[in-house]
Structure 1
């Protein structure tokens, strides 16, 4: 078990004071058997009216409306958690799901249907071709755990990582053609590839704990991970017998040992950590800074 603290600060800057509309924040994790929220603090400047709700996926959402004009808008979120995520690369699967292909149980298929469907155009079947190469020359059924691990590591190995603050997520075919992408882009590519294989996947937004960036762990030799220092994104795959399993294609990691899940969604556009509006001239907006620090307290 790890005890971790996440400090997430987002600052917007403008040429002159502007007024602000509604802002939607996805900063707060949900308690579960693998993640326990022990403390939380949210500070917004200028002061804002805040209300909380659960979205269609039961993610915890804050709706904030800043009450005063300003040339700077800052959101500071601090959460303390106990994290029980697994670093295992294999999971105890139901007997029929230990090899691919397999079918989802009849009682679960209706709930998983939209998560197995392709969401983005692929007119030349590039994603299909890329995904099915992992099934070539197998001579029979494929071990499910090995297959998913290979796809995760292949994206980390063959695609470049770029930190990109532009709004939105690239279409998977574009990411495949470019051979590079942000964590959100790489996660979406993996989702569509697995959906091409008939697997139920969903998008995860949250944070990455990198021991190499933790001042309390500087005496250990750790390989730095990509995506730390900002919000992170990865994939969950539904596997009978194991449930929702975490895969981080940006770093080629299987299991959620260093992943702090905040929100899950069918599509990346439904899991944007922060979005909102302002009223002013189009060129009033200057820039945005995002800083995320994940540090450990004690570990048992």
Structure 2
């Protein structure tokens, strides 16, 4: 039951003072049975004239910052303390009727899952469908959880993780063709693949950390991305194709959305001359308290300079 200290600092630099429009910030972890938010502070520089909080359509905590002054530097500094009680693969319990694929969601759940089953990307040659169906057992029953686990681990094993600081995400077909990408590219590919098989899936943005010294997770140093798939009996289950893991061990959820563009950590506009923008830097540090790890005499430093 680790206690985590999270630091997420995003800094924008401009050549000269600019004016800022409203900025939308999603960096506050979600409350759930497996993660409890103990403390959270958000410091913004320059100080905004107003900050209001809201919950979006997915229940994510969103801060809207309004500014009335110009500046050549804009900083968002989020400090959070979380108690994490992760769910492991062994704790995923699927209803009997859904343990073998294919199956149909119940009539009570289907109306609320439909938009999360809909495909988001064109695939006229059905390349994603073909790739997804390779995980189906053609000679007998296909174990649902085993199939999703195999897909998750195949992406980690067969694709090359390449950090990319630029904005945007490759299309699932581009990722499939290039056989490389970032965590958000992998998440988009897997979401589209499981939707092609009829599963409800959502995009997750958050943080990744090493639960102990035996684990090594890829995607630290920045926000991380993975997938949630709805499985009757356990509900939304985490699948991280970047690290090939199932369950929430080492993963802290911040935002959940139907599409990746609905879960951008920070977005907004500025008003200034062309070419005024200089740079944006993001730093994410996660430390695990030693009190939560038997045998450790000091906090485990999880800082990793990796872009995701």
TM-score range, shorter chain: over 0.9
Q: Distance in 2 between matches of 1:253 and 1:155?
A: 11
1:238 is matched with: 230
Indicate the RMSD between aligned Cα atoms, in angstroms: 1.3
Q: Does 1:3 align with 2:3?
A: yes
Say if 1:175 and 1:89 are closer, same or farther in 2 by CA, change over 3 A.
farther
Can you list the C-alpha shifts for 1:122-169, whole angstroms capped at 9, x where unaligned? 111110010011115x41111111111100000011111122222222
* TM-score in terms of structure 2 length: 0.92
Q: Distance in 2 between matches of 1:177 and 1:282?
A: 35
Say if 1:256 and 1:168 are closer, same or farther in 2 by CA, change over 3 A.
same
Name the count of aligned residue pairs: 291
1:103 is matched with: 104
Per the TM alignment, residue 281 of structure 1 is displaced from its structure 2 partner at its CA by: 1.4
Per the TM alignment, residue 273 of structure 1 is displaced from its structure 2 partner at its CA by: 0.5
1:228 is matched with: 220
1:13 is matched with: 13
2:147 is matched with: 147
Q: Does 1:281 align with 2:273?
A: yes
1:214 is matched with: none
1:204 is matched with: 204
1:53 is matched with: 54
Can you list the C-alpha shifts for 1:225-281, whole angstroms capped at 9, x where unaligned? 210110000000000001000000011011101100011000000000111100001
2:302 is matched with: none
2:306 is matched with: none
Q: Distance in 2 between matches of 1:257 and 1:251?
A: 11
Q: Distance in 1 between matches of 2:160 and 2:134?
A: 20
Q: Give the match's secondary structure for 2:135.
A: helix
Q: Does 1:261 align with 2:262?
A: no
* TM-score in terms of structure 1 length: 0.94
Q: Does 1:123 align with 2:124?
A: yes
2:287 is matched with: 295
Task: Give the stretch that moved more between structures: 195-204 or 163-172.
Answer: 163-172
5+ residue gaps, structure 2, are: 294-308
Q: Distance in 1 between matches of 2:18 and 2:162?
A: 31
5+ residue gaps, structure 1, are: 212-216
Q: Distance in 2 between matches of 1:122 and 1:88?
A: 31
Q: Distance in 2 between matches of 1:163 and 1:72?
A: 25
Q: Give the match's secondary structure for 1:150.
A: helix
Q: Give the match's secondary structure for 1:6.
A: strand
Q: Distance in 2 between matches of 1:8 and 1:87?
A: 26
Say if 1:169 and 1:187 are closer, same or farther in 2 by CA, change over 3 A.
same
Q: Give the match's secondary structure for 1:135.
A: coil
Per the TM alignment, residue 82 of structure 1 is displaced from its structure 2 partner at its CA by: 0.5
